[in-house]
């Protein structure tokens, strides 16, 4: 099946993943009636990137807030497919809990309400493996799947906001629309995403430059995870959207969630940074700054200090117990079910993904060095 004739709305189109989905839709999908790119704000760089694309598909830029019900009704009018990537990712507590909830959870509910109002039939939701965990104990998962049972009673704000939003998306699958059809939904749980333009990778790059081109190790080597290249998770959204139009495949996928992975080697988060940049002369610290248990309690101490200072000054530590647990827990999954149910296949192999990301690092590293040098003057 194809997306020919469809009008597609991509939320969060100014973000790392959303941009890539818009680009793939415009460059690789023939016959689309329209692609609408929405976000609260799209940078001049993003608009310039879209403007350079070679495509026959009309692109409409609509800027507005995911929390604005009236805006969402306007944005979804006449649309057949919504790919919802807009969210706030926060593991350090920079964003207050209410804002996280309003954007990630309530924003998803408002968007679905707009879909019902405008008879939008297909809805693909970008979820996260953090919906599953890891839990506070750091219980590992190795090669997990959609049937894996995992005990998790934590209430980390970002993970909770995505968990509730995903559940809401699943529950509304099959609900009747005003035109007599029914809503078809699916959620894709993504692991950590790397690739050109990654804001997280850019932040780690800045830290390494300030540390004499050596990445600071936050995760132990044994904490194996399976990150995914941005081009592959973007492609997965489009592949499942196509499957939704297939009378046979849609029976298997509607209302379901899927883990999406690729052939990126299993490694720790810190070792991924090094693997992507070692040919450019970057190094990595050989071990954690202190034993893992001590590292955890050091982070806990910083959280306590932050709490005590809250009435007087806003101090957000750059490390906390949640992040220490997150990056030091073996946590990997398989995409076999996605391959079986809707034919998911990664578009890029690891070597190509690594090369493209390394080329981007080589391009931005001198700019970051100059910026950081001027910043300290």
Active-site residue list: 158
Which two structure tokens, joined as six digits, stand for 42? 């799209």
DSSP state of 108: H
What's the rounded Cα separation, in Å, for the pair 120 and 76? 7
Under a CB-based contact definition with an 8 Å cutoff, are residues 241 and 122 in contact?
yes
Which of 2, 38, 4 has its CA nearest to residue 18?
A: 38
Which of 254, 202, 259 has its CA nearest to residue 232?
A: 259
Which two structure tokens, joined as six digits, stand for 228? 């995914």
Q: Specify whether the backbone of 175 is left (phi greater than 0), alpha (psi in -120 to 50) or beta.
A: beta
Under a CB-based contact definition with an 8 Å cutoff, are residues 101 and 168 in contact?
no
What's the rounded Cα separation, in Å, for the pair 11 and 67? 12
Structure-token match 């071990």, residue found? 287
Q: Specify whether the backbone of 281 is left (phi greater than 0), alpha (psi in -120 to 50) or beta.
A: left
Which two structure tokens, joined as six digits, stand for 354? 């690594």
Residue spans of alpha helices (H) in 86-173 = 97-100, 107-117, 157-171
């Amino acid at each position: 099946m194809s997306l020919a004739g469809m009008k597609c709305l991509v939320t969060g189109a100014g973000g790392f993943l959303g941009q890539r989905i818009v680009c793939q839709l415009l460059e690789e999908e023939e016959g689309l009636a329209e692609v609408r790119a929405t976000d609260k704000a799209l940078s001049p760089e993003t608009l310039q990137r879209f403007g350079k694309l070679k495509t026959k598909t009309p692109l409409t830029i609509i800027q507005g807030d995911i929390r604005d019900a009236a805006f969402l009704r306007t944005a979804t009018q006449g649309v057949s497919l919504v790919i919802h990537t807009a969210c706030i990712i926060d593991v350090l507590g920079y964003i207050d809990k209410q804002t996280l909830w309003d954007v990630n959870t309530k924003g998803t509910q408002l968007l679905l309400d707009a879909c019902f109002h405008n008879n939008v039939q297909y809805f693909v939701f970008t979820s996260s493996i953090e919906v599953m965990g890891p839990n506070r104990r750091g219980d590992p998962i190795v090669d997990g799947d959609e049937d894996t049972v995992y005990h998790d009673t934590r209430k980390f704000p970002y993970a909770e906001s995505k968990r509730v939003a995903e559940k809401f998306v699943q529950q509304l699958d099959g609900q009747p629309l005003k035109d007599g059809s029914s809503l078809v939904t699916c959620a894709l749980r993504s692991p950590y995403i790397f690739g050109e333009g990654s804001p997280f990778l850019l932040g780690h790059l800045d830290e390494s430059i300030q540390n004499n081109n050596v990445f600071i190790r936050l995760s132990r080597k044994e904490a194996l995870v399976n990150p995914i290249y941005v081009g592959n998770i973007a492609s997965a959204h489009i592949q499942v959207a196509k499957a939704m139009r297939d009378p046979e495949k849609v029976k298997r996928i509607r209302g379901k969630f899927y883990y999406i992975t690729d052939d990126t080697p299993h490694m720790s988060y810190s070792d991924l940074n090094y693997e992507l940049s070692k040919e450019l002369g970057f190094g990595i610290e050989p071990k954690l700054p202190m034993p893992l248990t001590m590292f955890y309690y050091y982070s806990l101490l910083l959280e306590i200090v932050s709490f005590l200072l809250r009435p007087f000054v806003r101090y957000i530590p750059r490390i906390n117990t949640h992040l220490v647990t997150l990056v030091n827990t073996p946590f990997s999954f398989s995409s076999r079910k996605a391959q079986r149910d809707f034919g998911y296949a990664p578009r890029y192999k690891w070597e190509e993904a690594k090369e493209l990301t390394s080329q981007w690092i080589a391009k931005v590293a001198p700019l970051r060095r100059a910026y950081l040098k001027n910043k300290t003057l």
